[in-house]
């Protein structure tokens, strides 16, 4: 799998995953737990299936042209 998530996106997904997992344990919700675990795996592997399907968005999708 080619990485398609940048570092900022990874940290956001990681935080969201921990929040979803904790909330799902408190509310005893299997659906939220699965979504949280899926988000955690996306953050750990730096790969998003939705980004893969939609094409080049996310990591390095808007390169900055720096004049030297």
Q: 2-25, pLDDT tens digit by residue?
A: 888 889 999 999 999 999 999 999
DSSP3 helix / strand / coil % (the chain, rounded to 5):
65, 0, 35
CA 19 to chain centroid = 13
**Per-residue tokens: 13:** 């997904």
pLDDT at 59 (0 to 100): 54
pLDDT at 49 (0 to 100): 85
pLDDT tens sequence across 16-64 = 999 999 999 999 999 999 999 999 999 999 998 888 888 765 555 556 6
Ordered by start, the domain boundaries in the chain are 7-54
pLDDT at 12 (0 to 100): 95
């Amino acid at each position: 799998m080619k990485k398609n998530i940048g570092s900022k996106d990874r940290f956001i997904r990681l935080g969201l995953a921990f929040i979803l997992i904790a909330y799902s344990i408190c509310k005893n919700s299997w659906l939220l737990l699965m979504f949280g675990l899926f988000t955690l795996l996306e953050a750990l592997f730096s790969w998003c299936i939705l980004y893969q399907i939609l094409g080049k968005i996310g990591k390095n999708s808007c390169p900055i042209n720096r004049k030297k």
